[in-house]
Amino acid sequence: MACYRNEGEVVRLVNVTFAYNEAPVLEDVNLAVKAGDFLALIGRNGAAKSTLLKIMVGLLRPKSGEVRLFGWDIRSFRDWDLIGYISQNAGDINASFPATVAEVVASGYYGGWRGLFARRARKEIVEEALELAGIKDLAGRLIGELSGGQRQKVFLARALVKKPAALFLDEPTTGIDAVAREDFYRLLAHLNRERGMAVVIVTHDIGAAFTRAKKIGCVRDRHVYIHENINEVDQDHIAEVLGYRLGENYVYF
């Protein structure tokens, strides 16, 4: 699957402040995500990590500051196919929902073609996304029949049909077992490393964050602290961010 490559920045936030009912939850946030980055955002519950991610992809508008996507002011940005977004709990779905995996993945395709050519092209693109997510064998299964880990891959494939340059994921491994989590993170690392996709993920999987990501963003006290070199992260700072210290026996994936 071909993907867009940009030598510059995917997203940049400049002095961004956001408030709910006039109560600031983010203040003067400055950060940049470049092509090929893998950024993990960590922090305590309620630290506004999900809010930050939604600001990056245009789902929330900041009270002040600037958001840029691929060099464009987000208010002028139109090439949304470059962005793949998976919301929190995307895999939660009614078990009786009658759609097949292929149908769910196809729903993420925004192509404007018509007629027989359109159907063939869409079928090929969906098959490509299914294969890249490692679930081509599940195409005909009803999504309600799948495990939590399988569903998460379905929604990843749904994001991939647009052939995005960057993936933004909000706690995509919540509620799935350790084996499925590792498999999912391995897939994200492959997309980042082999396909050149930038990845920004909100996660509570600290072990996965430290072994898969290239950068760590600590969201704390309405600010975001970016650690460019993951091998030089101050463990005292991480303990303050998380509210607990990682023990010597903490297992990293």
Residue 63 is predicted with a pLDDT of 95
In a domain, 247, yes or no: no
Between 122-136, 182-196, 230-244, the lowest mean confidence (pLDDT) is in 230-244
Q: Which amino acid is at 141?
A: R
In a domain, 107, yes or no: yes
In a domain, 3, yes or no: no
Q: Report the CATH number that the domain containing residue 232 is assigned in CATH.
A: 3.40.50.300
- CB of 145 closer than 8 Å to CB of 96: no
For the entire predicted model, the pTM comes to: 0.86
Domain count, the chain: 1
| 82-105 confidence digits (pLDDT tens) | 999 998 876 667 667 788 999 899
Residue 245 is predicted with a pLDDT of 60
- CB of 152 closer than 8 Å to CB of 91: yes
Burial of 224 (0-12, 13-18, 19+ CB in 10 A): buried
In a domain, 66, yes or no: yes
The residue segments making up the domain with residue 120 are: 9-242
| 4-27 confidence digits (pLDDT tens) | 444 589 999 999 999 998 899 999
In a domain, 86, yes or no: yes
In a domain, 249, yes or no: no
The DSSP secondary structure of 97-120, one letter per residue, reads ---BHHHHHHTT------HHHHHH
Confidence class for position 108, pLDDT limits 50, 70, 90: confident
In a domain, 130, yes or no: yes
Confidence class for position 162, pLDDT limits 50, 70, 90: confident
In a domain, 186, yes or no: yes
Q: Is residue 118 predicted with pLDDT exceeding 60?
A: no
Residue 168 is predicted with a pLDDT of 97
Q: Is 72 helix (H, G, I), strand (E, B) or coil?
A: strand
List phi, psi (to 5°) of 102: -60, -40
Most confident of 89-93, 141-145, 233-237, 243-247: 141-145
